[in-house]
Amino acid sequence: MDGANLTQGTARIALSVRTNPSFLLWAIRHHRAQKSILAEIKGTTFAEIALADLRQVPLAAPIEFEEQRLIGQRVQACDDAIQCEQHQLVKLRAQKFGLMDDLLTGRVRVTLLLEAATA
């Protein structure tokens, strides 16, 4: 993490030309990196990490830029798919709530639905 510049509440990490930004983002978000970062954080009112401590956080990374790019791209695609599915789940739950409300309040007759399903 050479080239990082920290101020209170802000971190700027200057990447080398051999490091893919998308890959680094996902590497830092990985639970092992987060665990290491949390172990180094100091302060109770304002949590902060010293530059020297941040440089010691171990990150597993392939040497080849292209491999980093592909990994970052694929992880981002998976994250995008998860976000899409979560959005769809929220919509389906809202629809389920509305349908249950209609059925339980009597706005929609259940017997008509049962007859249609058996026909």
97 in a domain, yes or no?
no
pTM value is 0.69
21 in a domain, yes or no?
yes
Give me the pLDDT at residue 52, please: 82
116 in a domain, yes or no?
no
Give me the pLDDT at residue 7, please: 61
Question: Is the separation of the CB atoms in 75 and 26 below 8 Å?
Answer: yes
31 in a domain, yes or no?
yes
Give me the pLDDT at residue 3, please: 60
**Three-state SS at 90:** helix
Long-range contacts of 80-89 (CB under 8 A, 24+ apart): none
Give me the pLDDT at residue 30, please: 94
Domain hosting residue 22, numbered range: 5-90
* Total number of domains constituting the chain: 1
109 in a domain, yes or no?
no
pLDDT (tens, 9 = 90+) of the chain, 119 residues, equals 556 655 666 767 788 899 999 999 999 999 999 999 999 888 878 888 887 888 889 998 999 999 999 999 999 999 999 999 999 999 999 999 999 998 899 887 777 777 888 87
Give me the pLDDT at residue 118, please: 82
Question: 68: buried, middle or exposed (CB in 10 Å: 19+, 13-18, 0-12)?
Answer: buried
74 in a domain, yes or no?
yes
Give me the pLDDT at residue 54, please: 84
45 in a domain, yes or no?
yes
User: Going by C-beta distance under 8 Å and a sequence separation of 6 or more, which residues neighbour residue 1?
Assistant: 13, 54, 55, 57
48 in a domain, yes or no?
yes
Give me the pLDDT at residue 93, please: 98
Give me the pLDDT at residue 108, please: 78
